[in-house]
Amino acid sequence: MDKEQKYVRREKLGVSRFGSNQARGSGIASHPLRLTPYALILFVLSGCFFNVQLWPKVEPLQEKELTGTGKDKIVLMDLSGVISEEERGTSFMPEPNLVAQLKEELKKAEQDPEVKAVVLRIDSPGGTVTASDILYHELEVFKQKTGKKVIASIMSLGASGGYYVAVASDKIVAQPTTVTGSIGVIMLNLNVKGLMEKIGVTGTPIKSGEFKDMGSPLRPMTDEEKKLFQGIIDQMYDRFVSVVADGRKNLTKEQVRKAADGRVYTAKQALDLGLIDQIGYLEDAINVAKSEAGLGEARVVTYVRPGSYEDNIYSQIPRGGPQTFNLVNLDIRSLVQPGVPRFMYLWSP
């Protein structure tokens, strides 16, 4: 075998022209795993790296049956956490914002003729004025277009914006241990003037009008600015009262206003005031939905993303991001932004 034939044979066996020892010493062997760092660098430099999907995309909702029998369906939907238009989840596990999620679920329920009612499970301290109002509006439109019943089932907490959304339903059922109410508006704003002075930073706004920077965190609010903000708060409060009075046919505006001083109520107190229709558990809310829709039996279903797990009516789709809360520690980091006052239908003790 001549020298050239030996070389061809060695090439077929994956051995470098420079000899096996030299190839191993250089760190560039023919083994694919050893080439990975070099290939990765070339991959990145070529721009191909950024076209690779490193995390799963958000998939369309799929129906998941939970319990019950029959042809007709009752859809269990969730309104959980702080109500906001802010995106949820993380870069690796993105989720639609709460408004988009509920809109998608309502659209799916609207297009299914077997869906006769919706049970909206609420566990929320409220949120932004606009997001709460959008959800209320979407539920009202859904009922008008479809004639399908909506029953609100308030879990541990349905306060402020959470209650605002609930009054769009045909009936409200609250758990025996529910906290609800907190009808009112609050503006969240930060004043960091003292802190900034300590580190030697001052703000010098150049503005076109006296009130262009009203609500600035770099200085105290003037009395006139407080009056202007109070006027906005009062109008939003009046809308809240009107929405509750429209949804609760048994109450007048005057009766709602008496209960709407911002305080929260137990389920028993809310029932006595006419803010809810019944005290009961989630199963009771489902039975109310059957009764309101004229159903003897029905399957309870929910809408889930591929890969999520729902086993029964108390299962809940995991929620990402900072929109978690409890009665002691409410995380509203996504809602409080320095220099950006936010108007909230939110119970924020």
Q: Which amino acids are annotated catalytic? A: 160, 212
What radius of gyration, in Å, describes the C-alpha atoms of the chain?
A: 29
Q: Measuring CA to CA, which residue among 85, 161, 77 is closest to residue 118?
A: 77
Taking the mean position of all CA atoms in its chain, how far away is CA 272?
A: 31
The rounded distance, in Å, linking the Cα atoms of 95 and 316 is 14
For the chain, where are the alpha helices, taking DSSP H only? 3-12, 20-26, 36-45, 98-110, 129-146, 161-166, 193-198, 223-247, 253-259, 267-273, 282-293
Token reading at 163: 């209650």
Per the CB < 8 A criterion, the answer to whether 168 and 150 are in contact is: yes
| Amino acid, res. 323 | Q
Q: 299-304 and 73-80: which strand pairing?
A: parallel
> How many Å is the maximal CA-CA distance in the chain?
106
CB-based contact 166:174 (threshold 8 Å): no
Token look-up 């369309």 returns: 60
Measure CA 334 to chain center: 11
Tokens linked to 212: 């262009």
Amino acid at 136: Y
Residue 63 to residue 79: CA distance in whole angstroms: 17
